[in-house]
Amino acid sequence: MDRPPLAARLGLVVIAALMMTFIGWASIAEVQEIARGEGKIIPVSKTQIVQSSEAGIVQEIAVTIGQTVSKGDLILQLDDGDPAVRHQGTIGGSIANNDPAADYPAGLLALAATIHTNRREIAADDFFTGLFSTALDEGEIITAVSFEAPEACGYAKFPNPASRYAMTGVFVSKGGGAVRVAVTGAGSDGVFRHEGLEQALSKDWSAAAVDGVKISADGLMSDIHCDAAYRANLIRAMAKRALA
């Protein structure tokens, strides 16, 4: 068998020697410079999620990133707001926001409620002016709502399976010689009264009376959840449930 050329053998010896020298140097040499680069360090074990047992607004964060904490140390301070306000939405906040899928606007509109502010009183018919829009002026605050107790009333909604907001909701009310029907979650301009249902229920306060009412899809919303025609059908179905 032919042996490799002398030059090749010497080359292999030199490479092996250089590698051994580099390994030896790396094991004893001190690091003189650190190269910095962007990136993230994400721990995959021994992590602890810390959260308050109560909802609230964070007033102060008492620790910094990388700080070591012990049991009993203050981590953050919550604002001392009223628990009733922190844990649930308020009627005033809901109607001031006038979300097109909120429940309270339909109730106040159907009950012919009066909205009291720090400046005046506003009838529900005049209060809701469009999507996320009301008759409130800058700096005007809702202080109360009031309405006469109806002879009969009811509310039914078809909730979104995830968020539970009203994809379509109908509030019916009878009192003081009048019938009022308010629809939320369906109108492209927000909560509205349905005149056709009001006229039919004024003659016959029953679910059967709803069947004879023409409910148009004009002016109703279409989105990823359902189209206007489907919402028109929901108005009929929810009105009958509210009357049950």
CA 237 to chain centre: 26
Give the pLDDT band of residue 1 (cuts 50, 70, 90): low
Give the pLDDT band of residue 47 (cuts 50, 70, 90): low
Give the pLDDT band of residue 42 (cuts 50, 70, 90): low
Give the pLDDT band of residue 69 (cuts 50, 70, 90): confident
pLDDT of 43: 60
Taking the model in full, what pTM does it have? Answer: 0.65
pLDDT of 240: 97
Within a 13 Å sphere around the CA of 165, how many CA atoms are in the beta-carbon half?
A: 13
Q: Rounded CA gap, 9 and 12, in Å?
A: 5
Give the tokens for residue 39: 């990136």
- DSSP-derived secondary structure letter, 220: B
Cβ contact 155:166 at 8 Å: no
Q: Which CATH superfamily is domain 86-243 in?
A: CO dehydrogenase flavoprotein, C-terminal domain (3.30.390.50)
The pLDDT of residue 201 is above 90: yes
Q: Rounded CA gap, 183 and 109, in Å?
A: 9
Give the pLDDT band of residue 37 (cuts 50, 70, 90): low
Percent of the chain with pLDDT over 70: 80
List the Cα angle 89/93/99 in 5-degree steps: 95
Give the tokens for residue 151: 């002879």
Q: In this predicted model, what pLDDT tens digit does every residue of 209-244 receive, in sequence order?
A: 999 999 999 999 999 999 999 999 999 999 999 999
Q: In this predicted model, what pLDDT tens digit does every residue of 16-33 receive, in sequence order?
A: 888 888 787 777 766 666
Q: In this predicted model, what pLDDT tens digit does every residue of 97-153 receive, in sequence order?
A: 999 999 999 999 999 999 999 999 999 999 999 999 999 999 999 999 999 999 999
- Provide the residue ranges of all domains of the chain, joining segments of one domain with +: 86-243
Q: Rounded CA gap, 20 and 14, in Å?
A: 10
The secondary structure element, H or E, covering residue 169 is strand 166-175
Coil vs helix vs strand at 123: strand
pLDDT of 205: 97
Range from 86-90, 130-134, 184-188, 204-208 carrying the lowest mean pLDDT: 86-90
Cβ contact 220:141 at 8 Å: no
pLDDT of 85: 54
Q: Rounded CA gap, 107 and 124, in Å?
A: 10
Q: Where is pLDDT greater, at 64 or 37?
A: 64
pLDDT of 196: 97
Of 135, 71, 45, 134, the residue nearest 98 (C-alpha): 134
